[in-house]
Amino acid sequence: MDIWQIDAFTDRPFRGNPAAVCWLEQERDAEWQQAVAAEMNLAETAFLTRRDDGFGLRWFTPAVEVDLCGHATLASARYLWESGRLPDGEPARFHTRSGLLTAARDGEWIVLDFPAIPPHSSGSIAGLEDALGATPRWLGRSVFDVFVELESAEAVRRVTPRLDRLAGIPARGVVVTAPGDQPDQDFISRFFAPAVGVPEDPVTGSAHCALAPFWSERLGKTRMTGYQASSRGGTVRVEVKGDRVLLGGQAVTVLRGELLA
């Protein structure tokens, strides 16, 4: 079985967010897929199968299966075109736990069509400030995550959470964000998800499904550029289109191998 490692939301190797992409000629059970994801030990491992009208796609962290993942979908599209399993330039259709998702080429960029999942204001969350080591300027929740706005981009970069305590927050993960302080960055963010086996995710496409509508409302823009300020770093172009968000990113293949187990 093909298994590739692809760095997503970057135009350079060893940056952005690495995902493993595994091609399956036939379905394998979830227990086996979870074991492979644990073996790969990346934020996400994607599993692809062919369907009459596209491809089945599932995503696993080293610990759990997840409902939505942007960077591993971006990597999956790159794999399909580069491996020749999908003609170059033909849009990719993915059947997932979050419904039909598509990917299309735009020059050197790949554009994903994802659902918008705007965060909504919430009350205080017990233990959050202590775990995060920062005081929210605004606090909310999206479908998956706790959403924290801080006072500045520098405050986002400085966050050093207590991951053992953050893992106890009842959510997939915690997004921290602020307006960007660079000319090419409308907003920046970081994403912590120790509860699902990802201490800090390098670049999180699904979090931008919440970041895009959040910052669109505040900045009065529908097209923006986000930067995820992890140690690897990555850039996500976003466009809000009603109840959908277009996520644009680049990807670089760094490893091609065969899974024998």
The answer to whether the beta carbons of residues 101 and 73 sit under 8 Å apart is yes
Give phi and psi for 38, each to the nearest 5: -65, -40
What's the DSSP call for residue 88?
T
From 25, 39, 44, 239, the catalytic residue: 44
Q: For residue 116, give the nearest of 104, 99, 138 by alpha carbon.
A: 99
Residue 44 annotated to the active site: yes
Placement of tokens 């302080």 in the chain: 181
Q: Which residues of 85-124 are buried (b: 16+ CB within 10 A; e: fewer)?
A: ebeeeeebebbbebeebbbbbeeeebbbbbebbbbeeeee
Q: For residue 165, give the nearest of 209, 139, 129 by alpha carbon.
A: 129
- Rounded distance between C-alpha atoms, residue 5 and residue 194, angstroms: 22
Task: Reduce the DSSP state of residue 49 to 3 states and report it.
Answer: strand
- Rounded distance between C-alpha atoms, residue 66 and residue 197, angstroms: 11
Q: Which two tokens stand for residue 169?
A: 């927050």
Active-site amino acid positions: 44
